[in-house]
Structure 1
């Protein structure tokens, strides 16, 4: 009997045609003998709907309806019932095989090292079985492959032989191997007993082709959906493989779909334009479908749709991108960086910010505000690693912590944090097997998604087992889908793994969890035949819609880039006898065109903005869209620019310009007046304004505090320790002549610093190695300074850590001198610097300051002019605050961290450059003029002007809040 394959044009709606054919061809009571097989379960649901509609109100005798995968699994189980291994178990068996053989000793040294390669090797074997290809060793794998990949490919055939032998010995199999077995032994089955319909299949594997070929020879009916006049190359090849003829099912000619192309700058503009295309009510599931080119658009799409509109989502959302997946990865990262029982504080802080963690409660009180206070304390503490007990004790250690507004007593706060550690973090420390891992994941999900109060005993919510997930389902759609994905896929996989009871290293278990999360998809549950349909391209197979909307139809998303298995690059596939990856693109292209051709109208959205990955440049529309547009233009004989709707990027011109200043109104001027009346004016304040008036605004007018970074080493604290050590050392010489040759005592100075350092919180935070190097570096710099003093000769120490105050124009100015000396009848202000080297104020700047005439204007130009001749005010201000006690005065920075000894001392006036008279004139006349102008500028300038130096913005504490930042 000649095999005939029936082809129907996409506009004919194959599912509807098939429903009518079965209802007309088989009387009620006989239809249950008919078997209909589709590529997906979704197609079967729509097929049932069409049967119901065409049958009317009477009883309906349904045929047997299968998704092809379900049918294959059922038939293979009849033929040879075996346990089918998931990829994780396949990887375990492959590791057990490889670790016993010399070529793989390094690769298979541990399971966590082998795991990613084992999963990909299992993928290779699955594809080989689906294509009925025998594995063989590759003598010369491509040189550009990773060494691990080359080793596995060189022994591919040997591994596969051992793998199959192991599976046969233990009565195990895999999905692809079961399919291969079914294709090779299909004649042993009596199935099907009645008529068999195979509908809507496009690209078949060789195993499927062999199975279909046998069924066709036994009278099965195969239906394709394509344009008979331009049959796809894949279908033409299958026509020859099946040695079949083509029968075209005629339909009334369908009008071409109205296709509109939408170009938008980004996803948000796509969604804004989408609003007018979505009807307020949807009466049947074929009315509107939204196809997502990129899964990243799902969450923004759901937030932009009308709340009252029913939505059915049909796609697998990557579990690792969900809030729940992120929570699990944060907990894993916390454990992976745990060191000697102490946790990495930045990882701990990231965990506290997770929305599920912030929603926890203790004794009926929400803990988010308590966690916020805990974060402040951790940043104040500054330790990079802390034990959980240390974190719990923070509230009791900090006596000044105000918890009254938190509604927590200190003891209760410490207990709440302890319970958080006990139920959420500590269980992850004792994981030894995948069953332990599944249990801890389950407990974590129950505590967080079910909002269980931490004051309760964990046995209360967990004693009922897995059904606790469904005792009170979360209201939000996404959360429900995330939890369902973990409950149905992740947990069973871990609990029933081939090696579930095998003790494994924590590193291995955490690597395993991350790999599994990377490949799992969260299922969305809803009403498949109601409301707006949202799906991926391949989920739309065989379905027809009146209006098709495609979002993110950009190159890289459509066709999807997909992950390339490092064991199966394009150059290796033909060597193994596998079809090229190009077939995947042909499959997507076919389903895309079929979906568009079956619609009445189609709207294709693509983005035109620059890609987030800047090296990719501007986004371009998909080649599928490009081809569709070109075909329409070719048919019309002209450019169809009118069919491309653009969503303009409406930006105010001012938004494209960086502001040059922060506005200053009456309130800001009053705030500066209040600041100067409340606090003494310091060199730090003035230097901040000279560097950038906008920074002065954020720090002193607004009162923003710089963000605190958690780090072991605190340069500020180290600087304070060095200052304290030098103060203690020189205090005994106050009022006396210090003779370095006789009085230098490096051992005493180092002993003073050691005691201060050992009693500091900095020493407690540093690890042993870091503490050693930090201490030795500081001691070296202190000793080098004393040796430097020997070159200077004797000097009198007038004061140590002296505070000076002086009123200028009614405002109080202050400065704290590290040391005040008299050296050779010259008064010298000494200021220690422990940080970065400050460039000396140039001779040119001092000469400009000497002749500086305050501008009449208080605009930005005046500030810039002042800054050129006065880039740093500290030493000038300190000398000025010394009043007129001496005519000959100088000030020096002592750069203790200077690389060269010659750079240790940086005087304000060098004798060779500035005479005593010029220096006195500068301090007596020029500097007061500049200081008064600076004070007037701060108080009366019309705005706070921004620096023009991009380097200052890069390291500014307020760059994220500043609209003027040059970053």
Structure 2
């Protein structure tokens, strides 16, 4: 039985069946696009051989070029440093060495230069002529942003931001004689030729090369070969290429002329496009057709194609990760149809244009598939180690010196503490430090304070005092990684091979980077090493172990070249992802690239298009997934490849369907907690004799949302209360309140008259300002407590002025409204929690209240004052006080609750005047007005006690009523800022 068509297997059969024919089998050297295809061809050759024999050689094009070049390729890191040396040398020759950009600023442009220099060499272009022409180009843009990105920058920052980065880089140019930005660039193009020449000279001196210079050297070597030099011991077989640069074309042509090369082209995508559409081939495939004509395959080799086109299904999924889940379901379906052999699914491939979906895809592959091989490297930036290193590097970069000691910013410290690896290694220490930050409101933490609190994390929180010293920075990172490896090994017993491999990679990168910086004598700024390290590892990928020749293949797009699969699933089939909008960045305009034979902007996209159509032509079943969301990367737009197949290849069997989004939680459902025996026993703890207490805040929470009350006050759960990096409205309220308290404290149990307040308000008297600063320092800037002459940060200084202004407005209003002969200040923050508050004969509850201020007026009459910095109303209807949606009435509810509780728990005799101080309103107009309830000014609580008391008691009794469950609030808009929102799962509408 003839096996189905398979490109590599057919080539293997061709050569193994004619081993006695020239060229001899053991002289063959198969050259393929990548290691994966070389490995598969080697497997097919072995499978075809029936007896022991000398195997031919298998190599990639890069290996072939390297073997025919005199010098090895320098690694990416070293190339960048050598290029920087050449850049400095070129500037020095122009007399501008002192104006050179720092290495940090050079990295971005250096990458682009290296890429362009490689393209120049691979195109065998004359660099001097190219740069001479480049100098004369009239329009040169240096921002390298695409049109969409430019529009965003214009909209947010304005036109000037578009060239700011380039302008900053080229400041070494002569602004006096060539002031325009375009003129500056023309000058730079002039030195690029010198940079290129100096770069090549330095590589030659070090006996190193780039990929491009190796290719140029290989062309020279083969050009110098004559027929007399051919010994017949090597015959090259080039397989599966779709496009060649100029140098590769020259090599192929010379080897063809010498008769020591054969060529095999997979023309399946040409057949697919030409047969189905009647056209000679899609534009991206024309280059392949030209190569197949110029370098023909052996005449006796017949390339076999599938007799029927593939079944193609296009599935739209309204989620990025959801594509991976849908892919898993598709594989399950194929297994059920016996289209996949779960024990050896080698004929199935999952192709991933976006490596970011690798982990979701791996978790979605059915467990019944026994073997998986991953040729797509896991990006280091996606590993947990990379995120930890980014957090640590950010912490060190943003560290600052305060009073001679290094301090870390609290957000950076929290990012490190909450990282999974730190949580695994030192959970108790991390929790201890997190609580310290929150409890003491530490915005900046000294390294010494951290080490005192969590000495076990010394390796992480040791301050790097000299960030300009490569050795010091490298030593810190190396010691930290050694500690991390030892800690993880200690926990896992040394079984975490992946973690060990990742840490070992990072260590080698650090050691290599340190050596390069020191050997090249690069002048470092305080950020150079850490920035360069981040850049170096961010573009690398971690090799994942697998079963290369047995399992299901998880591949990147380029890794699919030459490989045939019966079943293919491709994720991320969105425009701008596959194909990507831009594959390479370059400093050379497209017209010059075309004129000098450099690959143009379409070249790499053509290779991706070839890979895609080749997969379509070779597969039996194809499933394509794309993200339908308009806000997703790609804007929900389907890939042009799918559109081309649907409209230009109408005979293809393509079905399209969209998966509906997962069910949205029904917001009409209500979470209800019934008061069973367990809940009632916890409620009993709030009753007289129990350990817990009610408060006005608890009652406000209950009327807003009974479920939140249950979680917070019955179950004693804590919501998220994160420290923020700014002075919040709550902070301002606390500091305003504390400042007024401090100013009144000397007059406790004393008469307060207008003269006292006028003295405090005197412009010459700075008591208010000093007190406001003390509160600011205590709450937000404790590091400044030792010296009150040091200015606070700008936000702190401005905050002090705001607090002082609000306090002055309040004191002016109090002087004009309260200062009567019998005004006596009694207490600040009067706290009362005993005896129990008896609601009726069957219910007595523990209740705690803290009244902001208590004054005595008219001999026995009391005044309860509550300071509010929010949007509190001083007027309401009585019924509104028990409406959870009327949160602006909560201040009045709280004061009246205090009045009722005081009368019940302490003394019912005195009249009590409740007064609200809405600080925002007072800052605008320093005038205190009484509370207005049901249209009448409230002079004393007794005016409304008979109406308020039964409503309050009814609400408290409802809390303990076994028949009334704790339910969610009816209006979901109230849930937006609820600390239990994620736990509750409520869908909150946008406002």
* TM-score, length of structure 2 as denominator length: 0.78
CA shift for structure 1 position 68: 0.6
Spell out the pairing of 1:84-483 with structure 2 (5 A cutoff): 86-93=78-85, 95-97=87-89, 100=92, 108-133=100-125, 134-135=130-131, 136-137=134-135, 138-142=137-141, 146-147=162-163, 149=166, 154-155=186-187, 157-170=189-202, 171=204, 173-184=209-220, 186-189=222-225, 193-194=231-232, 195-219=235-259, 220-227=261-268, 230=274, 232=281, 233=283, 236-237=286-287, 244=294, 246=296, 249-250=301-302, 254-256=306-308, 258-261=310-313, 263=315, 265=317, 266=322, 267-277=324-334, 286-305=346-365, 306=367, 309-340=370-401, 341-360=406-425, 367-394=426-453, 417-421=454-458, 423-426=459-462, 429=465, 432=468, 440-451=476-487, 475=496, 478-479=498-499, 482-483=502-503
User: How far apart, CA to CA, are the structure 1 residues paired with 2:885 and 2:384?
Assistant: 53
Spell out the pairing of 1:771-850 with structure 2 (5 A cutoff): 771-792=796-817, 793-794=819-820, 795-797=822-824, 799-801=826-828, 802-803=830-831, 806-809=837-840, 810-812=843-845, 813-823=847-857, 827=861, 829-833=863-867, 835-842=869-876, 845-846=877-878
User: How far apart, CA to CA, are the structure 1 residues paired with 2:889 and 2:722?
Assistant: 34
Q: Is the 8 A contact 2:314 2:623 kept in 1?
A: yes
CA shift for structure 1 position 67: 0.7
Matched, 1:675 2:686: yes
User: How far apart, CA to CA, are the structure 1 residues paired with 2:542 and 2:284?
Assistant: 32
1:71 to 64, 83, 96: 64
* Distance change >3 Å, CA 814–CA 510, structure 1 → 2: closer
User: How far apart, CA to CA, are the structure 1 residues paired with 2:554 and 2:930?
Assistant: 72
| Unaligned runs of at least 5 residues, structure 2 | 145-161, 167-180, 275-279, 785-789
Matched, 1:46 2:36: no
Q: What CA RMSD, in Å, does the superposition of the two structures yield over aligned residues?
A: 4.3
Give the match for residue 954 of structure 1: 976
User: How far apart, CA to CA, are the structure 2 residues paired with 1:218 and 1:376?
Assistant: 76
Q: Is the 8 A contact 1:291 1:549 kept in 2?
A: yes
User: How far apart, CA to CA, are the structure 1 residues paired with 2:595 and 2:357?
Assistant: 38
Q: Is the 8 A contact 1:438 1:495 kept in 2?
A: no
CA shift for structure 1 position 198: 1.5
Q: Is the 8 A contact 1:259 1:602 kept in 2?
A: yes
1:297 is paired with a residue of what secondary structure?
A: helix
User: How far apart, CA to CA, are the structure 1 residues paired with 2:305 and 2:901?
Assistant: 96
1:201 is paired with a residue of what secondary structure?
A: coil
Q: Is the 8 A contact 1:203 1:235 kept in 2?
A: no
CA shift for structure 1 position 508: 1.0
Deviation readout 1:307-328 (Å, 9 max, x if unpaired): 8823221123322222222222
User: How far apart, CA to CA, are the structure 2 residues paired with 1:729 and 1:156?
Assistant: 66
2:255 is paired with a residue of what secondary structure?
A: helix
Give the match for residue 856 of structure 1: none
Give the match for residue 938 of structure 1: 959
Matched, 1:624 2:641: yes
Give the match for residue 408 of structure 1: none
666-675 or 503-512, which deviates more? 666-675
657-666 or 169-178, which deviates more? 657-666
137-146 or 33-42, which deviates more? 137-146
2:462 is paired with a residue of what secondary structure?
A: helix
Alignment: residue pair count: 885
Q: Is the 8 A contact 2:868 2:891 kept in 1?
A: no
User: How far apart, CA to CA, are the structure 1 residues paired with 2:887 and 2:800?
Assistant: 38
Give the match for residue 923 of structure 2: 900
2:558 to 527, 538, 547: 538
Give the match for residue 155 of structure 2: none
User: How far apart, CA to CA, are the structure 2 residues paired with 1:480 and 1:382?
Assistant: 37
User: How far apart, CA to CA, are the structure 2 residues paired with 1:245 and 1:764?
Assistant: 77
User: How far apart, CA to CA, are the structure 2 residues paired with 1:425 and 1:454?
Assistant: 20
Q: Is the 8 A contact 1:310 1:532 kept in 2?
A: yes
2:714 to 692, 695, 701: 701
Give the match for residue 565 of structure 1: 585
User: How far apart, CA to CA, are the structure 2 residues paired with 1:489 and 1:756?
Assistant: 48
Q: Is the 8 A contact 1:116 1:515 kept in 2?
A: no
Q: Is the 8 A contact 1:140 1:154 kept in 2?
A: no
Q: Is the 8 A contact 1:129 1:176 kept in 2?
A: yes
CA shift for structure 1 position 299: 1.4
2:915 is paired with a residue of what secondary structure?
A: strand
CA shift for structure 1 position 949: 6.1
CA shift for structure 1 position 201: 1.1
User: How far apart, CA to CA, are the structure 2 residues paired with 1:606 and 1:179?
Assistant: 38
Give the match for residue 400 of structure 1: none
CA shift for structure 1 position 614: 5.2
* Distance change >3 Å, CA 474–CA 302, structure 1 → 2: farther
* Distance change >3 Å, CA 18–CA 337, structure 1 → 2: same
CA shift for structure 1 position 239: 6.2
2:936 to 905, 914, 935: 914
* TM-score, length of structure 1 as denominator length: 0.80
Deviation readout 1:67-114 (Å, 9 max, x if unpaired): 11111122122xx67867654225523542576589999995321122
CA shift for structure 1 position 224: 0.8
Give the match for residue 174 of structure 2: none
| Unaligned runs of at least 5 residues, structure 1 | 1-8, 361-366, 395-416, 456-470, 853-861
User: How far apart, CA to CA, are the structure 2 residues paired with 1:571 and 1:676?
Assistant: 84
CA shift for structure 1 position 329: 1.3
User: How far apart, CA to CA, are the structure 1 residues paired with 2:295 and 2:854?
Assistant: 105
